[in-house]
Amino acid sequence: MAAITMKNIVKRYGDGFPAVNDVSLDVRDGEFMILVGPSGCGKSTLLRMIVGLEDITSGEMLIGERIVNRIAPRERNLSMVFQNYALYPHLTVYENIAFPLRLAKRPDEEVRRRVTETAGLLELTEHLDRKPSNLSGGQRQRVAMGRAIVRQADAFLFDEPLSNLDAKLRGQMRTEISRLQRRLGVTTVYVTHDQTEAMTLGDRVAVLRKGVLQQVGSPRELYEQPVNLFVAGFIGSPSMNFLPASVDGTSLSTPLGRFEMPGEQAAAAVGDRGVVLVGVRPEHFEDASLVSEDKRARGSIVQVPVDVTEWLGNELYAYVPYEAPADLAAQLRELSRELDSDQLRTQAVVSLDASSLIAEGTEAALWIDTSRIHLFDPATGENLTRDEDHAARLTRAAEPSRAAQRSTQQPTEP
């Protein structure tokens, strides 16, 4: 096992375009790091540079104490699982898993011991004599995983390993990967598009945009204290709503109505900006008729038209259209395109209690928890209301729990 340290890593492909631009990131020994970002932001490129399948244009890559920039992939002792894993169709499950050990010319006795153990870990024991064509998608995925973990690698690298599985299998495999990583305690970097994977699998999440690292923190830090508009919009589903607002003292005038800033600190951070973008998560709205008196006091109520509602049993989504000034509307559309979001940005998505009787095509009173809103600089995207101390606490709070789980689940030594 080893830490992975990236120092000012740059990757320029032939045309000079920086696919990865000055990324510095420390993955600690035994840590599970998630890498997320829109398509083309450089996730796979970064992973391939760690493994050595791609040259590093500039910067330093360390595995443990060793600089590996000029070290061949096979000398790096890392294991990678790709999205399009290929199993050898003519080999049994046993031999597929054994493959890296055979390559390394390990003695038969050791191969048998390790394959048996890996198969046990992945619940493949009863399928060892089968060929891959006789396995389900999830079982094949587990064989690919087995091939990666059968070697005692210093780190595992996963590039969207579950993306071609159906939702149910993906859910099962997600739990298995999480359990496996905790049990083995091996440093892992995992690339994904999937919100749930990003939020649940890792110790920390790193968000990339156009080759540039935006923020690294626990899932909760990214969700509650995003550094900018991009991270705020990328993490969470449905996405955070962004409402343009003109500032008048401590009050905000938005297309949904007028309400107060979260506090004096927010007003100070906004300074003399005349316009800000207000970020409100869907769950920080509520049907005003369901909000208790004391709760009302720490938020604001707005009257809005409801376009469409979706009752999901455990919650109710309502879509609230609004008009935005042309320049800001264009900016929000651009962001929404970049985030691959199908959400039309001049409509707010709100998540209400399932008991709400709000009906589509009517006006409704919605309560906004204004203590939970964020204010963004429309020019730079910076989150003006981010609380650095609280953010650091959120990431620190996440640390002991996973580390403790690891130490109680002793790694099995083959």
Ligand X SMILES: Nc1ncnc2c1ncn2[C@@H]1O[C@H](COP(=O)(O)OP(=O)(O)OP(=O)(O)O)[C@@H](O)[C@H]1O
Angle between helices 167-184 and 388-408 (to 10 degrees): 80
Distance CA 241, CA 348 (A): 6
Closer by beta carbon to Mg ion, 44 or else 215: 44
Q: Does 177 bind ligand X (CB under 6 A)?
A: no
CB of 325 to ligand X, least distance (A): 32
Closer by beta carbon to ligand X, 99 or else 190: 190
Site string for ligand X, 14-53 (x = CB under 6 A): x----x-----------------x-xxxxxxx--------
Site string for Mg ion, 20-59 (x = CB under 5 A): ------------------------x---------------
Closer by beta carbon to ligand X, 52 or else 282: 52
Give one DSSP letter per residue of 334-371, joined into a string.
HHHHHTT--S-TTEEEEEEETT----TTEEEEEEE-GG
Return the DSSP state at 239.
P
Q: Binding partner of residue 45 among ligand X, Mg ion, none, CB under 5 to 8 Å per kind?
A: ligand X
CB of 57 to ligand X, least distance (A): 12
Closer by beta carbon to Mg ion, 39 or else 133: 39
CB of 196 to ligand X, least distance (A): 16
**What's the Cα-to-Cα distance from 214 to each of 204, 209, 290, 378, rounded to whole Å?**
13, 7, 38, 17
**What's the Cα-to-Cα distance from 251 to each of 159, 254, 260, 369, 409, rounded to whole Å?**
46, 10, 4, 14, 52
CB of 206 to ligand X, least distance (A): 12
Q: How many CB atoms lie within 10 A of CB 72?
A: 8
Return the DSSP state at 226.
-
Q: Amino acid identity of 59?
A: G
> What is the binding site for ligand X (CB under 6 A)?
13-14, 19, 37, 39-45
> What is the binding site for Mg ion (CB under 5 A)?
44
